[in-house]
Amino acid sequence: MRYFLDISYKGTNFHGWQIQPNGNTIQAELEAALSTILKTETAVVGSGRTDTGVHASQQIAHFECESIPTELVYKLNSFLPKDISVNDLKEVNVDAHARFDAKKRTYHYHIHQKKNPFFQDTSYYFNQDVDVELISKGCEIIGSWENFECFSKVHTEVNNFNCEIFKADWQQKGDNHLFIIEANRFLRGMVRAIVGTLLDLGTGKTSLMELGEILKSNDRRKAGRAVPPQGLFLKKIEYPTNIYK
C-alpha cells in the first residue's frame, strides 16, 4: 500500500530535503525514522527538493509498506528531531506520486525591514526602502510569463523551463513583506532568483523594461541575485482528490 505523509520542517540545521553524502537532510531523517518503526528499509519520495536552510509548512512525501502500525504519526514524531513534524498520513492509490501528481505548489518568501532577532532564521533582513507598487507591476509581468530559464540554476536536468504561474503577489504589512507565488512546477533556485530580481526592481536597480529583457534573455546572469534561503517556505502542495483512498 502507498501512503502520503504531510510534513513540516524548519530547514535551518539541514542540508535541504534530498539525501546528501556529507550532510544531514530531511529525507534522511524521515527514512531513518520510518525504517526503525516499520522494521524494514523504507524510502520516501518528496514532492520536490528544498535547498539548504529552506523551510516547509507543508511538504508531501510518499512511501510504501504492507501494513501501518497504530499511531504511526505519533511514533514518527517521537523519533524525529524537533525541527521536523509529521502532520498527517493518508492512504493513496498505489500509483499515486508525491512529485508527479502535484498540480499546484505554493511558496512564500518573507522579508523584514526592521531588525528582529526572532525573525533571524525564518525571514530575510533587508533594510532598504522598496517601491511596492513597482514590484507589483513586476509581479504582473512574471505572472504572465512562461519560460523561466533566466531564474533557473545552471546545469539543471530538466526537459524544459516552462512553468504555469497561477499567482504572483507582493504584500506589505508595516515593516514586513511577503512574496507569494503559485505554479504547477518550479525550477531549481527559481523563487529566490525572482525575489532578488524584484528587489532590484523595487530599489531602482532594474526597470520594468529591463525586467522584460531579463525574461526574454533566458540568461541567469542577467537576473538578480538569489536572496538568502531562510526567508523561503514551501507553503502548500495540492493534488487531485481522486488519488486518495
Same CATH topology for 2-101 and 104-235? yes
Region 208-221: what's the mean pLDDT?
97
CATH 3.50.50.60 fits 104-235, yes or no: no
pLDDT at 157: 79
Domain ranges of the chain: 2-101, 104-235
pLDDT at 156: 79
pLDDT at 242: 96
Region 64-80: what's the mean pLDDT?
95
Q: Kindly report, residue by residue over 159-175, the tens digit of the pLDDT.
A: 999 999 999 999 999 99
pLDDT at 154: 84
Q: Does residue 113 register a pLDDT over 90?
A: yes
Rounded Cα distance between 30 and 51, Å, is 16
Report the half-sphere exposure of 194 (CA within 13 A, side-chain side).
31
Rounded Cα distance between 44 and 18, Å, is 10
Region 80-85: what's the mean pLDDT?
98
Is-contact 131 240, C-beta < 8 A?
A: no
CATH 3.40.50.150 fits 2-101, yes or no: no
List the catalytic residues.
Answer: 51
In the numeric block, the cell 514551501 is attached to 234
Which of 17-26, 77-86, 151-160, 213-222 has the lowest average pLDDT?
151-160
